[in-house]
Every structure is written in structure tokens, then in C-alpha cells.
Structure 1
Amino acid sequence: MTEVAGHHREDLSIDQQLALRTASRKLGEEFASIYGTETIERFLHSSYDQFATGSTVPNFLPLLAERFARQRLTALARVEGHGDDSRPVVLFLCVHNAGRSQMALGFFEHLAGDAAIAWSGGSEPGVEINPSAVAAMAERGIDISTEYPKPWTDEVVRAADVVVTMGCGDACPIFPGKRYENWILDDPAGQDVEQVRPVRDEIERRVRVLLDELSVPAAHLGRG
């Protein structure tokens, strides 16, 4: 290919090119029984393009692209009926995918374990996770510092059983037949940890209710 995700190869460092080739090989091994090389590379390169414009950490881009492509390919496989995974899938959406939806994802994954799947996304993804949200979640023993703001894609929304929106308004995607919930929560953007704690605790309460409604047993989570 002469371009990678809209960027000429000469625009990428040798390390980036090698990292993308490694990512392509890993994804190819994971999804070999479902998708061909062309589909996998298309998802990897378009995922790279999602982050290339606004990222301030170019050396991290191939890893972000690999993680996002893996999520999208997993979602597409579910939509197309590959595999026999009956676990419920929940998608948490907010504007920047930097605070509310990331805290919800953190609680959901921590409490549900392997019994359910959760993803998150934003209508206008930010550059990094809100540090106050990271700190507030760390107080509960949950590390969301390795997460990253990302957009949603059609296959991810279509694969979800429940779509939880938080402040993205008309920008939130609507697909017929999906279960939607709109959680009205204060936006933690620009807030300190003390201001974020009440939002965090309300998110935990709502996640626990949702897990109960989905008949997913929630693990114990001690107070920090």
C-alpha cells in the first residue's frame, strides 16, 4: 500500500511502520477464521486515521489503532453472527469519551468481569482521559488510565444490546430495535476530584442497576 490511513508511508517513522505491520499480523492471527487480510488491514488503517489527526503521541498511534480495530472487528463479527457469544454488550457514549463514559466502562468491566462486554465512545473524542476521573476511579481501586478517547462506529453501535448515552444529545446514534438509556449526569470536564466524586458514585449506582436488569451478577467492590 502506498498510504496508511490517509497518510503516505514516508510520513510515518520506521517504528510506526513496523508497529502497524506487527498489529496487522496479530489481528490477522486473531481473526483468521472470520476475515481476510484486506478487511483486517482496512479496519486497522481506518482506525489509525481516527487518531492520527488530533494525537499528540504519534508513537502510541499504532497501539491505539490495533486496540480500536480489534474492538471494531469483534463488534462486526457479532453483528454478522460469527461465534456463539451470548454475553450482553453495553455501549457507553458521551461527548468526549474522556470522563463519564470512561468511568461507566471502568465500573462495568470491574463489576461484570467476563460475564458481559462493555465498550465506550464519544461524539467529539478528546485527546486524553480526564485526570480527575482517573484519580476518582483510582480511589475505588479501578485504573482507567490506560483507556483512550475514541469515536463510535456503526458496527460497534449495531453490536450493542444496550446503548447508554450521557449528554451527547442529537449526536448520539439511533438504531431501531436497540435499548437506549439516557443518563443525565454532570459533565466532569474541568472539575477537580472532589467535584467528580458525586458523579462517579452516581455512575456506579446506575451501572449496578443496569447489571441487575441484565441478570449479570456484580462483583463486590470495596469503598476506597
Structure 2
Amino acid sequence: MDEARPAVDRTEPSPSTGPLPRIGEHVGILAHGTVELRRAFGPVLGEETVDRIVEESAAGLSPASADPAHRESIAVRFAHDRLAAMADARGVARSGVPHVLFVCVQNAGRSQLAAALLAERAGDTVRVSSAGSHPAGRIHRNVQPVLTAHGADPARTFPKPITEEVLASADYVITMGCGDDCPVRPGQDARDWPVGDPAEVDWDRLQEIVADIEVRVDALWREISGA
């Protein structure tokens, strides 16, 4: 497991995990989202850090849509997740639940499916993230309906790169086909799942891959929950 983390300073305000702006509300979501993220994370991380993470997040994502509102919305969501992970890793606003990070190459299929399946089972009792060593521009078209069927919010299922703060806060790192490109920190519980790649497979093969991931997720969930 991780190295020991500092105790939480209970006098610090905890970052908000409330809803962020939804896709299509208006262009200018990035500016509005930055204000909300400063309010939530500025007291514990500093507003300069918030602004830097937002800027990096907006620059680091492949455009998933020609719609500016969509691009800004996913940048704000990505920045929120990174800031929450940073606060957790630094011990200034611990979530109090295990954090599982799934990593594959494109973050467009396997890792997204695993994250959706674990989130469906665990709810708020586990913090679930996913990332890619070389993220694609969008989720595989054949995978998106499966994600939606398992309760994944389409606004949150976008490919994103691995970032240091998300990696640092993870208690479990599950790699899925990215080999040496999947970084792991010393002392982390890291495991590799050799599952098939759902990109451009037919429906029957996709169902086999989903079933394989589901069996592995169920075993992991039983271990984490102590069931």
C-alpha cells in the first residue's frame, strides 16, 4: 500500500464534490468552472495551483467534440478530479475511501469499462478513476453504449492522460495492456489484468471482454469490501 500519509487538518475546509456545469449550458464553462474550483480547492491547495491545474487540464485533453461547451465542460471535470486527488494525496482533504485507478493505453475501452463496473457495484464506498498512457480522442463507439448501460455518466466518460496527482492518491492501480508505459509508485498495490482490447471488435467478442472484466472487478470488489 501507499506510504503513510499525513493526518488531515480538520480545521481546513473540505473541497466540494457538488455538481459541475453540464455539457451544453453555455460557452464560458471553463471560466465559470475555474471560479467554482477556486472556491472549493483554493483554501487547501492555493488558487495558483487551481489555475495551473485547470490550464493544464484544458491543454492536455484531446478534443472529444467540435462543440466548445463540451470541451470546456470535460476540462473542468478533469481538473476537478485532479484537484481532488491532489488534496487527497497531500492529506489536506482525505476522501476516507479507497481509490482504485484503472489504466490502459487509450482510456477508451478497457479501463473505462472496469471503472464503470466497479463504480456500479461500489457506489460512494470506493473512489474510481481511469486514465490512458496514450489517450484517444473519444471513447470507442462500441463501448459507449455498454458504459451507459452500466450507469456511467456520458459527460464523465472521456479519455484522459495519467497525471501524477491521480497516480499518487491511488491505493490500487490496475493496468490493462499498457506495459511499461503504465507508471506505478513504490509501495502501491499494482496489478495487471491481461484482458482483450474492445477496439473494433464485433458484438460477441465485446461481450466476452466485458464478462472477463466483470469477473475481475467482482473479485476486486469482494477483496476491497471484505465480503
Category of TM-score, reference length = shorter chain: 0.7 to 0.9
Unmatched 5+ stretches in structure 2: 1-25
The corresponding residue for 1:122 is 132
CA offset digits 1:183-213 (Å, max 9, x no partner):
0011111113222101111111111111111
The corresponding residue for 1:7 is none
CA contact (8 A) 1:165 1:181 kept: yes
The one-letter code of the counterpart of 2:109 is: G
Tell me by how many angstroms 1:133 deviates.
1.5
- TM-score where L is the length of structure 1: 0.83
The corresponding residue for 1:192 is 202
SS in 2 for 1:191: coil
Partners of 1:163 and 1:130 in 2: CA distance: 22
The 3 A distance-change label for structure 1 pair 57 and 203 is same
CA contact (8 A) 1:136 1:196 kept: no
Say whether residues 1:159 and 2:146 are aligned partners. no
The one-letter code of the counterpart of 1:183 is: W
The corresponding residue for 2:112 is 102
CA contact (8 A) 1:136 1:197 kept: no
Counting matched residue pairs gives 200
Tell me by how many angstroms 1:65 deviates.
1.0
- TM-score where L is the length of structure 2: 0.82
Partners of 1:20 and 1:142 in 2: CA distance: 26
Partners of 1:21 and 1:32 in 2: CA distance: 15
SS in 1 for 2:129: strand
The 3 A distance-change label for structure 1 pair 170 and 89 is same
The corresponding residue for 2:4 is none
Of 162, 171, 178, 1:168 maps to 178
Partners of 1:81 and 1:212 in 2: CA distance: 27
Partners of 1:29 and 1:105 in 2: CA distance: 28
Aligned pairs for 1:5-24 within 5 A: 16=27, 18-24=28-34
Identity of aligned residues (%): 34
The 3 A distance-change label for structure 1 pair 216 and 22 is farther
Aligned pairs for 1:62-81 within 5 A: 62-81=72-91
